[in-house]
Amino acid sequence: MHQSQYGFGLNIATLPTTRPTATLPIAMLTCILPVALGISAPAWSDDTETPSPAGKVIMARGEVVAVRQPDSTVPLKRRSPIYQQDTLQTGPAGKAQVRFTDGGLVALKPSSQLTVAHYESAEQGPDVVMDLIEGGFRTLTGTLGKQGPDAYQVNTPVGTIGIRGTLYSALMHKGELLLGTWQGSILVNTSHGDYLLGAGADFNFAAISSSGFTGLLQPPMQLQPAGVSSAPSDDESEETAASEESSDEHTVVLTPLEREADADTLARFEQDDQLGEDDPVTPAPEPVSPDSRLSMTEYNLFMASNRLGGIVTGSSLRVGSVIDQDEQEPIFVTLAGEENLDVIRFQGESEQREQPSEQLDVEWGIWTGSDQTPIEIYPERNSDLHSDLAEQSIWLMGTPTRSIDLDGLTGTINFAGTEAIGFNSAGASLSSASGSFDLNLSNGDVSNGTFNASFGNPESDQAMDQWALGFDGSIRAGDLNTAVVDIDIQSGSHNEDAINLDESAFEGILVGQQAEGFVGGFYLIDNDGNNATGAILMEQNVR
């Protein structure tokens, strides 16, 4: 199931009234979540079989290629694998975002070259070694980089960067290395000495060249996260400000809730922005959320979240990442189109919230939106504009099975279950449901899928409202099995009539360490506009 990355200028009037098409889930899910896949990648050589990827491209625009041994240049696009020893190159208008197998994320700026020299657990030496040849990037380090201070290094022409679990930026320009630390800290080793930036240091930002180190109190424009910029001076023209505000030519997707404005050329810092030896040292400013729709605490929880979930309303199925805070209503960050994120909140309390399994980390509930306590949908980044839903909705969430654990499973397994929650457009609650499917772990194929749901009171004189589906699908993303079950509905009926296959949706994830269960949300609609909404849990059926 799932969420952004993100081009956040979505107008409320264009919010989807139906679930995005079934091509959405697998690629989008792996690119928006900070969930480590935990897959090692051997080095590329002529003497070995095709290696496992070190990561994959989740966004590429303009000219983006990999110079790959032995001496071949491969154009990169979304979903392209990245291997050790690849040199990633972007053209003057190119930009790319890569998610590595440990959950690390790198956003490359235009006119950049970055070599992925090593990216796997190592008995000796760093686990992660990259070489920044030119240009720049921003990165959120993954689990390999957090194993210790010596586990990660980025080599540059003027020094070597080590980290202590962080979000930082680096940019090479005319022999000068510009650095900004947004979370955690980095240690830069140069011929002039070692310099600490970020937490526990005097500076968060610096410029380093062959002539030495310059600490900076404020981030230069080229390193600032989107939405954080200096206020224009009084003598700046309104036309210039409007032009800068409307320009999206150099927007780079960085993280699910963060974009970075790039410039074609890097202007050197003004002297006033540099810190001399005699200037006073001031404390680093308090962190500000990169997106005003989330508090800093919520944003950090989002970045650390390994839970997927969805909201099923009377008109759509929205899938995404979950911010789950103890004793509070969950917040959903969901996909709206290929590059947009919605933040969805509920101002009330779930009238029904339960865990349908004692063994699996799965939870669902019902939100009943009203004029006083609406379900709020925020489509625009750094904006308070939102639309309100005053209707009943189903939400669900769970912790997906890791790809590294799926990699160890073989054979074909069957899932079946009857635990479910839901309602139909006539206001009747779900009275019973059943579902099952087979999953071939060798090729990731889902087959023999069936789902049946009945709504209404079986003890009343009124006929039950019956829905039925036949489906197949896949858990495959490239060469990998993932927890995301991308379901393709092949047939369906509502009582005696057919359902609208184009508008109906059924998506889910595998949960449990060994894929012991599946939880999915459904939105079904017939050709007359009648619909049914809900969620179902299926568990491995030992046969």
Domains of the chain with CATH codes: 34-273 (2.60.120.1440), 297-540 (2.40.160.90)
Better pLDDT: 271 or 404: 404
Question: What is the chain's mean pLDDT, rounded?
Answer: 77
Task: Provide the pLDDT for residue 268.
Answer: 28
Task: Provide the pLDDT for residue 78.
Answer: 83
Task: Provide the pLDDT for residue 242.
Answer: 34
Q: Specify burial of residue 326 (Cβ count, 10 A radius: 0-12, 13-18, 19+).
A: exposed
pLDDT per residue over 320-379, tens digit each? 889 988 779 999 998 776 567 899 999 899 988 999 999 999 999 999 999 999 999 999
Task: Provide the pLDDT for residue 542.
Answer: 65
Residue % of the chain over a pLDDT of 90: 38
Across residues 449-466, what is the average pLDDT?
Answer: 92
380 DSSP 8-state letter: B
Across residues 218-224, what is the average pLDDT?
Answer: 69
Give the distance between the most distant pair of CA atoms in the chain. 88
Task: Provide the pLDDT for residue 370.
Answer: 93
The model's confidence at residue 413, banded by pLDDT at 50, 70 and 90, is: very high
Across residues 88-115, what is the average pLDDT?
Answer: 90
Across residues 301-316, what is the average pLDDT?
Answer: 84
Task: Provide the pLDDT for residue 39.
Answer: 27
Task: Provide the pLDDT for residue 337.
Answer: 63
Across residues 507-534, what is the average pLDDT?
Answer: 94
Task: Provide the pLDDT for residue 213.
Answer: 87
Across residues 174-194, what is the average pLDDT?
Answer: 86
Question: For 55-59, 272-276, 521-525, which range has the lowest pLDDT when averaged over its residues?
Answer: 272-276
Distance CA 86, CA 107 (A): 15
Question: For 71-85, 212-226, 339-353, 386-400, which range has the lowest pLDDT when averaged over its residues?
Answer: 212-226
Question: For 152-166, 184-198, 213-227, 460-474, which range has the lowest pLDDT when averaged over its residues?
Answer: 213-227
Catalogue the E-assigned strands of 256-386. Answer: 258-261, 308-312, 317-323, 331-335, 341-346, 352-354, 362-368, 375-378
Task: Provide the pLDDT for residue 209.
Answer: 87
Task: Provide the pLDDT for residue 339.
Answer: 61
Q: Specify burial of residue 47 (Cβ count, 10 A radius: 0-12, 13-18, 19+).
A: exposed
pLDDT per residue over 3-17, tens digit each? 222 222 222 222 232
Better pLDDT: 84 or 42: 84
Task: Provide the pLDDT for residue 396.
Answer: 95
Task: Provide the pLDDT for residue 219.
Answer: 76
Task: Provide the pLDDT for residue 521.
Answer: 94
pLDDT at 283 over 50: no
Task: Provide the pLDDT for residue 216.
Answer: 85
The model's confidence at residue 233, banded by pLDDT at 50, 70 and 90, is: very low
The model's confidence at residue 453, banded by pLDDT at 50, 70 and 90, is: very high
Q: Which two tokens stand for residue 456?
A: 């209404």
pTM listed for this prediction:
0.53
Task: Provide the pLDDT for residue 149.
Answer: 66
The model's confidence at residue 222, banded by pLDDT at 50, 70 and 90, is: low
Contact 152, 145 (CB under 8 A): yes
Residue (of 444, 442, 322, 317) closest to 22 by Cα position: 317
Highest mean predicted confidence (pLDDT) among 161-170, 180-189, 213-222, 372-381: 372-381
Task: Provide the pLDDT for residue 50.
Answer: 53
Q: Which two tokens stand for residue 87?
A: 């040199």
Element (H, E) at 301: helix 296-304
Tokens 């994120």, located at residue: 341
Question: For 154-158, 253-257, 374-378, 381-385, which range has the lowest pLDDT when averaged over its residues?
Answer: 253-257
Task: Provide the pLDDT for residue 132.
Answer: 93
Annotate 238-260 with three-state secondary structure. Answer: HHHHHHHHHCCCCEEEEECCEEE
Task: Provide the pLDDT for residue 87.
Answer: 92
Task: Provide the pLDDT for residue 230.
Answer: 35
Task: Provide the pLDDT for residue 282.
Answer: 39
Task: Provide the pLDDT for residue 529.
Answer: 92
